[in-house]
Amino acid sequence: MMKSTGHTLIASLTPIHSVISKKHPRLYPNLLYCNLTKPRKLLYPQTCRFHKEAVMVATRYPPPWFSVAPMMEFTDNHYRTLARLISKHAWLYTEMIAADTIVYQKGDLDKFLAFGPEQHPIVLQIGGNDLNNIAKATQLANPYGYDEINFKFVSLDTCGCPSPKVAGKGCFGVRLMLDPKGKFVAEAMSVISANTDVPVSVKCRIGVDDHDSYNELCDFIYKVSSQSPTKHFVIHSRKALLNGISPKENRSIPPLKYEYYYALVRDFPDLQFTINGGINTIDEVNTALREGAHGVMVGRAAYKNPWNVLAHVDSAVYGAPSSTLTRRQVLEKYQVYGDSVLGIYGPNPNVREVIRPLLSFFHSEPGNGHWKRQVDAAFLKCTPETTIKSFFEETLAAIPDSVLDSPITQASIGFPDVFADSKRLLPPPYMVQEEAEELLYA
Protein backbone atom coordinates (compact mmCIF):
# COMPACT_ATOMS: atom_id res chain seq x y z
CA MET A 1 0.00 0.00 0.00
CA MET A 2 2.77 2.40 0.94
CA LYS A 3 5.38 0.91 -1.33
CA SER A 4 7.61 3.41 -2.93
CA THR A 5 8.27 3.60 -6.60
CA GLY A 6 11.36 5.80 -6.39
CA HIS A 7 11.89 9.36 -7.42
CA THR A 8 13.47 11.10 -10.32
CA LEU A 9 16.11 13.75 -10.25
CA ILE A 10 15.45 16.60 -7.92
CA ALA A 11 15.91 19.99 -9.52
CA SER A 12 19.51 21.06 -9.51
CA LEU A 13 20.61 23.15 -6.60
CA THR A 14 23.05 25.90 -6.00
CA PRO A 15 24.76 24.52 -2.95
CA ILE A 16 25.87 26.97 -0.38
CA HIS A 17 29.01 24.88 -0.05
CA SER A 18 30.21 25.19 -3.59
CA VAL A 19 33.74 25.44 -2.25
CA ILE A 20 33.25 22.25 -0.34
CA SER A 21 31.67 20.49 -3.26
CA LYS A 22 34.58 21.39 -5.51
CA LYS A 23 36.94 19.94 -2.98
CA HIS A 24 34.77 16.91 -2.39
CA PRO A 25 32.74 16.14 -5.48
CA ARG A 26 29.36 14.59 -5.03
CA LEU A 27 29.34 11.58 -2.84
CA TYR A 28 29.80 8.15 -4.34
CA PRO A 29 31.91 9.42 -7.20
CA ASN A 30 33.46 6.06 -7.98
CA LEU A 31 30.86 3.80 -6.60
CA LEU A 32 29.96 0.93 -8.82
CA TYR A 33 27.49 -1.64 -7.78
CA CYS A 34 26.34 -5.00 -8.96
CA ASN A 35 23.61 -4.61 -11.49
CA LEU A 36 21.45 -7.24 -9.94
CA THR A 37 17.91 -6.10 -10.20
CA LYS A 38 15.73 -8.18 -7.94
CA PRO A 39 17.89 -11.29 -7.97
CA ARG A 40 16.02 -14.52 -7.53
CA LYS A 41 18.54 -16.39 -5.51
CA LEU A 42 20.92 -15.29 -2.83
CA LEU A 43 24.16 -14.01 -4.22
CA TYR A 44 27.55 -14.09 -2.66
CA PRO A 45 30.29 -11.67 -3.60
CA GLN A 46 32.09 -13.87 -6.08
CA THR A 47 29.00 -13.77 -8.31
CA CYS A 48 28.89 -10.01 -8.28
CA ARG A 49 29.54 -8.37 -11.67
CA PHE A 50 30.45 -4.76 -11.91
CA HIS A 51 28.95 -3.03 -14.92
CA LYS A 52 30.62 -0.05 -16.52
CA GLU A 53 27.28 1.53 -17.17
CA ALA A 54 26.15 1.16 -13.59
CA VAL A 55 23.78 3.94 -12.72
CA MET A 56 24.50 5.55 -9.43
CA VAL A 57 21.17 5.46 -7.69
CA ALA A 58 22.11 7.90 -4.99
CA THR A 59 23.07 10.62 -7.46
CA ARG A 60 19.38 11.03 -8.28
CA TYR A 61 19.35 13.22 -5.19
CA PRO A 62 21.50 15.98 -3.80
CA PRO A 63 24.19 14.25 -1.75
CA PRO A 64 23.85 13.49 1.93
CA TRP A 65 25.43 16.68 3.14
CA PHE A 66 22.81 16.44 5.87
CA SER A 67 21.19 13.29 7.18
CA VAL A 68 18.96 12.42 10.09
CA ALA A 69 20.43 9.58 12.13
CA PRO A 70 18.79 6.20 12.56
CA MET A 71 17.15 6.15 15.99
CA MET A 72 15.43 3.05 17.18
CA GLU A 73 11.79 3.65 18.05
CA PHE A 74 12.10 7.27 16.96
CA THR A 75 12.88 7.54 13.25
CA ASP A 76 9.84 5.52 12.27
CA ASN A 77 7.53 6.22 9.36
CA HIS A 78 5.68 8.91 11.29
CA TYR A 79 8.77 10.87 12.25
CA ARG A 80 10.19 10.55 8.75
CA THR A 81 6.96 11.81 7.23
CA LEU A 82 7.09 14.84 9.47
CA ALA A 83 10.78 15.38 8.76
CA ARG A 84 10.18 15.27 5.01
CA LEU A 85 7.41 17.85 5.30
CA ILE A 86 9.97 20.17 6.87
CA SER A 87 13.02 19.40 4.71
CA LYS A 88 12.98 18.14 1.13
CA HIS A 89 16.67 17.35 0.94
CA ALA A 90 17.74 15.83 4.25
CA TRP A 91 18.57 12.16 3.90
CA LEU A 92 16.45 10.09 6.25
CA TYR A 93 17.52 6.83 7.89
CA THR A 94 15.17 4.18 9.15
CA GLU A 95 15.53 2.80 12.63
CA MET A 96 17.88 -0.17 12.70
CA ILE A 97 15.94 -3.23 11.58
CA ALA A 98 17.45 -6.58 12.47
CA ALA A 99 18.06 -8.81 9.44
CA ASP A 100 16.58 -11.70 11.41
CA THR A 101 13.38 -9.72 11.96
CA ILE A 102 13.04 -9.08 8.24
CA VAL A 103 13.58 -12.74 7.45
CA TYR A 104 11.29 -14.13 10.14
CA GLN A 105 8.54 -11.57 9.52
CA LYS A 106 8.49 -12.30 5.81
CA GLY A 107 4.71 -12.35 5.76
CA ASP A 108 4.47 -8.96 7.41
CA LEU A 109 7.17 -7.03 5.62
CA ASP A 110 5.24 -3.84 4.91
CA LYS A 111 5.01 -3.22 8.62
CA PHE A 112 8.79 -3.02 8.84
CA LEU A 113 9.87 -1.86 5.42
CA ALA A 114 7.14 0.13 3.67
CA PHE A 115 7.45 3.88 3.47
CA GLY A 116 5.76 6.69 1.62
CA PRO A 117 7.34 7.72 -1.71
CA GLU A 118 7.88 11.25 -0.46
CA GLN A 119 10.45 9.94 2.03
CA HIS A 120 13.19 9.61 -0.59
CA PRO A 121 16.12 9.89 -0.22
CA ILE A 122 15.89 7.24 2.46
CA VAL A 123 18.43 4.77 3.80
CA LEU A 124 17.54 1.41 5.30
CA GLN A 125 19.68 0.44 8.25
CA ILE A 126 20.10 -3.27 8.78
CA GLY A 127 21.81 -4.97 11.71
CA GLY A 128 22.72 -8.60 12.00
CA ASN A 129 25.31 -11.24 12.67
CA ASP A 130 24.22 -14.02 10.33
CA LEU A 131 25.42 -13.63 6.77
CA ASN A 132 22.71 -15.81 5.35
CA ASN A 133 19.98 -13.76 6.98
CA ILE A 134 21.71 -10.52 6.05
CA ALA A 135 21.67 -11.66 2.41
CA LYS A 136 18.01 -12.72 2.57
CA ALA A 137 16.97 -9.54 4.36
CA THR A 138 18.69 -7.43 1.72
CA GLN A 139 16.83 -9.26 -1.01
CA LEU A 140 13.52 -8.93 0.79
CA ALA A 141 14.12 -5.20 1.19
CA ASN A 142 15.04 -4.59 -2.47
CA PRO A 143 11.53 -4.17 -3.85
CA TYR A 144 10.84 -1.37 -1.39
CA GLY A 145 13.24 0.90 -3.24
CA TYR A 146 15.51 2.24 -0.53
CA ASP A 147 18.23 4.55 -1.86
CA GLU A 148 21.05 3.04 0.17
CA ILE A 149 21.55 0.23 2.64
CA ASN A 150 23.49 0.97 5.76
CA PHE A 151 24.90 -1.68 8.01
CA LYS A 152 25.19 -0.92 11.66
CA PHE A 153 28.48 -1.92 13.18
CA VAL A 154 29.54 -0.82 16.65
CA SER A 155 26.69 0.30 18.77
CA LEU A 156 25.42 -0.46 22.16
CA ASP A 157 22.00 0.61 21.09
CA THR A 158 21.10 -3.00 20.54
CA CYS A 159 23.24 -4.35 23.35
CA GLY A 160 22.05 -4.23 26.83
CA CYS A 161 18.90 -4.59 24.76
CA PRO A 162 17.07 -1.49 25.89
CA SER A 163 14.49 -1.91 23.23
CA PRO A 164 11.77 -4.54 23.29
CA LYS A 165 12.08 -4.67 19.49
CA VAL A 166 15.53 -6.24 19.69
CA ALA A 167 15.47 -7.84 23.12
CA GLY A 168 16.11 -11.55 22.88
CA LYS A 169 17.38 -11.25 19.32
CA GLY A 170 21.00 -11.61 20.45
CA CYS A 171 23.38 -8.79 21.16
CA PHE A 172 25.07 -8.82 17.80
CA GLY A 173 26.55 -5.39 18.45
CA VAL A 174 28.87 -6.93 21.04
CA ARG A 175 29.90 -9.74 18.75
CA LEU A 176 30.65 -7.32 15.99
CA MET A 177 32.72 -5.23 18.35
CA LEU A 178 34.90 -8.26 18.88
CA ASP A 179 35.64 -8.11 15.19
CA PRO A 180 38.02 -5.18 15.41
CA LYS A 181 39.77 -5.91 12.13
CA GLY A 182 36.49 -5.72 10.32
CA LYS A 183 36.53 -9.26 8.92
CA PHE A 184 32.87 -9.91 9.57
CA VAL A 185 31.79 -6.43 8.55
CA ALA A 186 33.67 -6.73 5.26
CA GLU A 187 31.91 -10.04 4.62
CA ALA A 188 28.55 -8.63 5.60
CA MET A 189 29.03 -5.62 3.34
CA SER A 190 30.04 -7.82 0.42
CA VAL A 191 26.96 -9.94 0.95
CA ILE A 192 24.68 -6.91 1.20
CA SER A 193 26.21 -5.35 -1.85
CA ALA A 194 25.94 -8.54 -3.87
CA ASN A 195 22.24 -8.71 -3.11
CA THR A 196 21.22 -5.16 -3.87
CA ASP A 197 21.66 -2.64 -6.63
CA VAL A 198 21.94 0.43 -4.40
CA PRO A 199 24.99 1.87 -2.64
CA VAL A 200 25.95 0.46 0.74
CA SER A 201 27.47 2.10 3.79
CA VAL A 202 28.58 1.28 7.32
CA LYS A 203 27.83 3.18 10.51
CA CYS A 204 30.36 2.69 13.26
CA ARG A 205 31.90 4.23 16.31
CA ILE A 206 35.57 5.16 16.55
CA GLY A 207 36.46 2.30 18.89
CA VAL A 208 35.47 0.08 21.76
CA ASP A 209 36.91 0.12 25.27
CA ASP A 210 40.69 -0.14 24.93
CA HIS A 211 40.50 -0.72 21.20
CA ASP A 212 40.38 2.97 20.66
CA SER A 213 43.56 3.96 18.86
CA TYR A 214 43.33 5.80 15.58
CA ASN A 215 45.32 3.03 13.91
CA GLU A 216 42.83 0.37 14.96
CA LEU A 217 40.01 2.43 13.53
CA CYS A 218 41.96 2.83 10.31
CA ASP A 219 42.71 -0.91 10.12
CA PHE A 220 38.97 -1.49 10.33
CA ILE A 221 38.13 1.07 7.65
CA TYR A 222 40.94 -0.21 5.42
CA LYS A 223 39.83 -3.79 5.73
CA VAL A 224 36.15 -3.11 5.12
CA SER A 225 36.73 -0.73 2.22
CA SER A 226 39.33 -2.97 0.60
CA GLN A 227 37.40 -6.18 0.89
CA SER A 228 33.91 -4.97 0.11
CA PRO A 229 32.38 -2.30 -2.13
CA THR A 230 31.84 -0.01 0.87
CA LYS A 231 32.88 3.52 0.06
CA HIS A 232 30.83 5.44 2.59
CA PHE A 233 31.22 5.31 6.37
CA VAL A 234 29.15 7.13 8.96
CA ILE A 235 31.38 7.79 11.95
CA HIS A 236 29.79 8.30 15.35
CA SER A 237 32.82 10.10 16.71
CA ARG A 238 32.98 8.55 20.16
CA LYS A 239 33.93 5.09 21.27
CA ALA A 240 31.60 2.63 22.95
CA LEU A 241 32.18 1.46 26.50
CA LEU A 242 31.24 -2.06 27.41
CA ASN A 243 31.56 -1.58 31.12
CA GLY A 244 27.91 -1.69 31.94
CA ILE A 245 26.86 1.87 31.28
CA SER A 246 23.51 2.24 29.58
CA PRO A 247 23.09 2.84 25.83
CA LYS A 248 21.94 6.36 26.70
CA GLU A 249 25.08 7.03 28.74
CA ASN A 250 27.12 5.58 25.92
CA ARG A 251 25.88 8.42 23.76
CA SER A 252 27.23 11.06 26.12
CA ILE A 253 29.94 9.72 28.45
CA PRO A 254 32.68 8.66 25.97
CA PRO A 255 34.16 11.93 24.74
CA LEU A 256 33.71 13.00 21.15
CA LYS A 257 36.91 12.83 19.11
CA TYR A 258 36.19 14.68 15.92
CA GLU A 259 39.92 14.64 15.23
CA TYR A 260 39.62 10.95 14.38
CA TYR A 261 36.92 11.76 11.87
CA TYR A 262 38.92 14.49 10.16
CA ALA A 263 41.99 12.27 10.13
CA LEU A 264 39.97 9.61 8.28
CA VAL A 265 38.96 12.20 5.70
CA ARG A 266 42.65 13.06 5.31
CA ASP A 267 43.95 9.48 5.20
CA PHE A 268 41.33 7.80 2.99
CA PRO A 269 40.82 10.29 0.15
CA ASP A 270 38.89 7.77 -1.97
CA LEU A 271 36.25 7.17 0.68
CA GLN A 272 33.35 9.26 1.85
CA PHE A 273 32.78 9.91 5.53
CA THR A 274 29.78 11.34 7.32
CA ILE A 275 30.43 12.85 10.73
CA ASN A 276 28.02 12.14 13.56
CA GLY A 277 27.73 12.80 17.27
CA GLY A 278 26.93 15.89 19.30
CA ILE A 279 26.13 18.19 16.38
CA ASN A 280 23.12 20.23 17.37
CA THR A 281 22.51 23.17 15.09
CA ILE A 282 22.63 23.99 11.39
CA ASP A 283 25.37 26.42 12.20
CA GLU A 284 27.47 23.52 13.51
CA VAL A 285 26.52 21.40 10.50
CA ASN A 286 27.87 24.09 8.20
CA THR A 287 30.98 24.51 10.31
CA ALA A 288 31.65 20.75 10.01
CA LEU A 289 31.23 20.95 6.23
CA ARG A 290 33.48 23.98 5.98
CA GLU A 291 36.10 22.08 7.94
CA GLY A 292 36.02 19.38 5.24
CA ALA A 293 33.35 16.90 6.35
CA HIS A 294 31.71 15.14 3.40
CA GLY A 295 28.38 14.85 5.17
CA VAL A 296 26.88 15.50 8.59
CA MET A 297 24.43 13.27 10.42
CA VAL A 298 22.31 14.72 13.20
CA GLY A 299 20.35 12.51 15.58
CA ARG A 300 18.87 13.74 18.82
CA ALA A 301 18.76 17.42 17.91
CA ALA A 302 16.72 16.64 14.79
CA TYR A 303 14.24 14.71 16.91
CA LYS A 304 14.13 17.00 19.91
CA ASN A 305 13.83 20.19 17.91
CA PRO A 306 12.67 19.15 14.43
CA TRP A 307 11.38 22.51 13.27
CA ASN A 308 14.39 24.59 14.22
CA VAL A 309 16.89 22.08 12.90
CA LEU A 310 15.24 20.66 9.79
CA ALA A 311 13.54 23.82 8.52
CA HIS A 312 16.96 25.32 7.75
CA VAL A 313 18.49 22.32 6.01
CA ASP A 314 17.28 23.04 2.47
CA SER A 315 18.38 26.65 2.38
CA ALA A 316 21.34 26.79 4.73
CA VAL A 317 22.94 23.46 3.78
CA TYR A 318 21.77 22.80 0.20
CA GLY A 319 21.37 26.37 -0.98
CA ALA A 320 17.84 25.56 -2.15
CA PRO A 321 14.79 27.68 -1.48
CA SER A 322 13.38 27.17 2.01
CA SER A 323 10.03 25.59 2.39
CA THR A 324 7.40 28.26 2.67
CA LEU A 325 5.20 26.06 4.83
CA THR A 326 4.23 27.33 8.24
CA ARG A 327 3.85 24.96 11.15
CA ARG A 328 0.08 25.07 10.68
CA GLN A 329 0.44 23.95 7.06
CA VAL A 330 2.85 21.18 8.01
CA LEU A 331 0.35 19.99 10.61
CA GLU A 332 -2.48 20.04 8.08
CA LYS A 333 -0.49 17.77 5.78
CA TYR A 334 0.64 15.60 8.63
CA GLN A 335 -2.95 15.20 9.75
CA VAL A 336 -3.96 13.88 6.35
CA TYR A 337 -1.08 11.40 6.51
CA GLY A 338 -1.89 10.45 10.10
CA ASP A 339 -5.55 9.77 9.45
CA SER A 340 -4.66 7.71 6.39
CA VAL A 341 -2.44 5.34 8.36
CA LEU A 342 -4.31 4.99 11.65
CA GLY A 343 -5.02 1.31 12.27
CA ILE A 344 -3.62 -0.01 8.98
CA TYR A 345 -1.97 -2.85 10.90
CA GLY A 346 -4.90 -3.67 13.21
CA PRO A 347 -4.43 -1.69 16.41
CA ASN A 348 -1.38 0.09 15.00
CA PRO A 349 -0.46 2.70 14.40
CA ASN A 350 -2.60 4.33 17.05
CA VAL A 351 -3.12 8.02 17.75
CA ARG A 352 -0.38 8.09 20.36
CA GLU A 353 2.19 6.65 17.92
CA VAL A 354 1.26 9.07 15.16
CA ILE A 355 1.30 12.10 17.46
CA ARG A 356 4.58 11.19 19.16
CA PRO A 357 7.01 12.85 16.68
CA LEU A 358 5.09 16.09 17.15
CA LEU A 359 5.78 16.30 20.87
CA SER A 360 8.82 18.51 20.28
CA PHE A 361 7.39 20.38 17.33
CA PHE A 362 6.84 23.54 19.39
CA HIS A 363 10.14 23.33 21.24
CA SER A 364 10.74 26.53 23.26
CA GLU A 365 7.70 28.25 21.76
CA PRO A 366 4.94 30.01 23.69
CA GLY A 367 2.18 27.52 24.51
CA ASN A 368 4.46 24.47 24.32
CA GLY A 369 4.02 23.39 27.95
CA HIS A 370 0.29 24.00 27.87
CA TRP A 371 -0.01 22.04 24.60
CA LYS A 372 1.87 19.08 26.03
CA ARG A 373 -0.45 18.95 29.04
CA GLN A 374 -3.43 19.06 26.69
CA VAL A 375 -1.89 16.25 24.66
CA ASP A 376 -1.38 14.08 27.76
CA ALA A 377 -4.98 14.63 28.76
CA ALA A 378 -6.23 13.92 25.24
CA PHE A 379 -4.24 10.66 25.06
CA LEU A 380 -6.12 9.43 28.12
CA LYS A 381 -9.44 10.17 26.45
CA CYS A 382 -8.62 8.53 23.12
CA THR A 383 -11.31 6.18 21.80
CA PRO A 384 -11.36 4.10 18.61
CA GLU A 385 -13.22 7.01 17.01
CA THR A 386 -10.46 9.52 17.74
CA THR A 387 -8.78 10.77 14.60
CA ILE A 388 -5.68 12.90 14.20
CA LYS A 389 -7.99 15.68 13.00
CA SER A 390 -10.14 15.50 16.13
CA PHE A 391 -7.03 15.23 18.27
CA PHE A 392 -5.64 18.43 16.76
CA GLU A 393 -8.98 20.19 17.21
CA GLU A 394 -8.90 19.29 20.86
CA THR A 395 -5.32 20.32 21.58
CA LEU A 396 -3.95 22.86 19.15
CA ALA A 397 -5.88 25.77 20.62
CA ALA A 398 -3.10 25.82 23.21
CA ILE A 399 -0.64 27.12 20.61
CA PRO A 400 -0.90 30.80 19.68
CA ASP A 401 -1.64 31.63 16.04
CA SER A 402 1.58 33.61 15.91
CA VAL A 403 3.52 30.35 16.42
CA LEU A 404 1.39 28.31 14.05
CA ASP A 405 1.51 30.85 11.25
CA SER A 406 4.94 32.36 11.50
CA PRO A 407 7.50 31.51 8.83
CA ILE A 408 10.79 29.83 9.62
CA THR A 409 12.89 32.05 11.82
CA GLN A 410 16.62 32.55 11.98
CA ALA A 411 18.60 29.38 12.63
CA SER A 412 20.09 29.06 16.12
CA ILE A 413 23.73 29.91 16.41
CA GLY A 414 25.91 26.93 17.22
CA PHE A 415 28.88 26.58 19.50
CA PRO A 416 31.45 28.39 17.34
CA ASP A 417 34.53 26.36 18.28
CA VAL A 418 32.94 22.96 18.15
CA PHE A 419 35.58 21.54 15.79
CA ALA A 420 38.42 23.88 16.76
CA ASP A 421 40.47 21.23 18.52
CA SER A 422 39.94 18.57 15.91
CA LYS A 423 42.52 20.05 13.52
CA ARG A 424 45.02 20.70 16.33
CA LEU A 425 44.68 17.17 17.71
CA LEU A 426 44.81 15.27 14.42
CA PRO A 427 46.57 11.93 14.94
CA PRO A 428 49.60 11.14 12.76
CA PRO A 429 48.73 9.86 9.29
CA TYR A 430 47.77 6.22 9.00
CA MET A 431 50.25 3.80 7.59
CA VAL A 432 48.75 0.49 6.55
CA GLN A 433 49.95 -2.03 9.14
CA GLU A 434 51.61 -5.19 7.88
CA GLU A 435 49.11 -7.17 9.86
CA ALA A 436 46.24 -5.45 8.07
CA GLU A 437 47.82 -6.17 4.70
CA GLU A 438 48.43 -9.78 5.62
CA LEU A 439 44.82 -10.14 6.67
CA LEU A 440 43.73 -8.55 3.46
CA TYR A 441 45.69 -10.77 1.16
CA ALA A 442 45.55 -13.96 3.23
Upstream peptide bond of 121 is cis (omega within 30 degrees of 0): yes
Which CB atom, from 172 or from 430, has the smaller least distance to ligand FMN? 172
Cβ within 8 Å of residue 266, ≥6 positions away: 426, 429
The smaller minimum CB distance to ligand FMN, of residues 44 and 415, is found at 415
Contact code string over 72-101 relative to ligand FMN, x by CB under 6 A: x-x--------------------xx-----
Tell me whether residue 169 or residue 251 sits nearer to ligand FMN (CB atom): 251
Pairing of strands 295-298, 272-276: parallel
- Cβ within 8 Å of residue 391, ≥6 positions away: 351, 355, 378, 382
Contacts of 384 (CB under 8 A, 6+ apart): none
Contact yes or no for 381/395 (Cβ under 8 A)? no
For residue 373, give every residue at least 6 positions away whose Cβ sits within 8 Å of its Cβ, in sequence order, or none: 398
Polymer length of the chain? 442
What is the smallest separation between the CB atom of 345 and ligand FMN, expressed in angstroms?
20
Candidates 251, 312, 327, 356; binder of ligand FMN (CB under 6 A) is 251
Nearest distance in Å: CB 406, ligand FMN: 26
Task: Measure the CA–CA gap between 316 and 285, rounded to whole angstroms.
Answer: 9
> Binding of ligand FMN at residue 276 (CB under 6 A)?
yes
Nearest to ligand FMN of 256, 316 (CB atom): 256
Q: What is the DSSP letter of 108?
A: G
> Active-site residue among 161, 171, 204, 382?
161
Which position among 32, 58, 71, 275 is part of the footprint of ligand FMN (CB under 6 A)?
A: 71
**Annotation says 161 is catalytic:** yes
Q: Which stretch binds ligand FMN (CB under 6 A): 106-114, 296-304, 366-374, 428-436?
A: 296-304
Residues 350-409 that bind ligand FMN (CB under 6 A): none
Least Å distance, CB 188 to ligand FMN, is 14
Residue among 131, 116, 115 nearest 194 (CA): 131
The reply to whether omega before 349 is within 30° of 0 (cis) is yes
Q: Which is nearer to ligand FMN, 75 or 193 (CB)?
A: 75
Residues of this chain, 111-170, that bind ligand FMN according to CB under 6 A:
125, 152, 155, 157
- Angle of helix 183-194 relative to helix 131-141, nearest 10 degrees, comes to 30
| Positions that interact with ligand FMN (CB under 6 A) | 69-72, 74, 95-96, 125, 152, 155, 157, 203, 236, 251, 276-279, 298-301
List active site positions: 161
